[in-house]
A and B are shown apart, each in its own frame.
Chain A
Amino acid sequence: MHVVYPAVVAALLFSVGVYGVLARRNTILVLMSVELMLNAVNLNLVAFDVWLRDVLHSGQVLTLFVIVIAAAEVGIGLAIVLAVFRTRKAIELDRLRELGEP
């Protein structure tokens, strides 16, 4: 297996995630895009772990850790989104601009 293939797939996936983060209004969609980016990283980690044959399996172990952290992140993120929705009645990012310069 050429390492270039998973690396390129991961790069494309990451870029798609970047687009989602920058272009989507709905906060939940932005969270999904962040998940895409994290998965791109995971793919890279696994591919390089396989390529380098790491004795400690650090790539795959780190992938597991990232998955765990991603789960926690989604949990917290959704809680925040819900809190925001409860107080503002909106989760559209471009409507949440109280911190902007008047």
Chain B
Amino acid sequence: MNGVDFWPPSTLEVVFLLLGLVAVGSALLVVTTRQLVHAALWLVVCFGALAGCYLVLTAEFVAWVQVLIYVGAVVVLLLFGIMLTRAPIGRSDDLDSGNRVVAAVVAVATAGVLVGVVVGGFQHAYAELRPGAGSAEELGASIFRNWVLPFEALSVLLLAALIGAIVLSRTDIKGRR
């Protein structure tokens, strides 16, 4: 539509595709690996690759937040979970349920439908990248000017989640009989 051809791809596109490939590949490993801890580690790789994708897409602030929260916090939390539930460290063959084949079919079908729809819908869409559009300055201004209220609501939500998690994990708080 706007005359930008798919071939040859620009350097940025090549980088993005490579990063995307890494992300999808490590994600696949997350859901197929037979070692629980490896899954968490592959998740780190996947999130890191995604952060790279965000950087390519000029969303710097989101990329750093991704690295900080996902890689730094979420994965560590998950590792703690693995440790606390005394999951077997090392290879274990019963990580997949008997539902695997059906799950694969549904997943492939989902991929087919989504990719088909996305390709059909955004074939000619082309995003002009503008460095600095996702900088901390711009996003900070936007959040504290236009999104203050949801932001505050979200802080309350976080507080609630915090209290909820504490209540759930402490053993000395009994439910009301």
Chain A–chain B contact at Cβ < 8 A: yes
Per DSSP, chain B at the interface is: helix
- Contact flags (1/0) for B134-177 with A, using CB distance below 8 Å? 10001100110011001100100110011011101101000000
Chain A contact patch, size range: 35 or more
A56 contact set on B, CB distance < 8 A = 142, 146-147
Give A2's nearest chain B residue, CB to CB. B126
Contact pick for A11, options B47, B98, B104, B111, CB 8 Å: B111
Distance from A6 Cβ to chain B, minimum over Cβ atoms (Å): 7
- In the complex with contacts A11-B111, A16-B27, A81-B81, A23-B104 CB distance below 8 A: yes
- In the complex with contacts A22-B107, A57-B138, A1-B165 CB distance below 8 A: no
The total of chain B residues at the interface (CB under 8 A) is 90
Contact pick for A50, options B31, B58, B85, B118, CB 8 Å: B58
Q: How far is the CA of A19 from the CA of B102 in the complex (A)?
A: 9
Q: How far is the CA of A42 from the CA of B31 in the complex (A)?
A: 19
Would you call A60 and B53 a contact (CB within 8 A)? no
- Residues of B6-60 at the interface with A, using a CB-CB cut-off of 8 Å, are 6, 10, 12-13, 16-17, 20, 23-24, 27-28, 30-31, 36, 39-40, 43, 46-47, 50, 53-54, 56-59
Question: Which residues in B have some Cβ–Cβ distance to A below 8 Å?
Answer: 4, 6, 10, 12-13, 16-17, 20, 23-24, 27-28, 30-31, 36, 39-40, 43, 46-47, 50, 53-54, 56-59, 61-62, 65-66, 69-70, 73-74, 77-78, 80-82, 84-85, 87, 94-100, 102-104, 106-108, 110-111, 114-115, 118-119, 122-123, 125-127, 129-130, 133-134, 138-139, 142-143, 146-147, 150-151, 154, 157-158, 161-162, 164-166, 168-169, 171
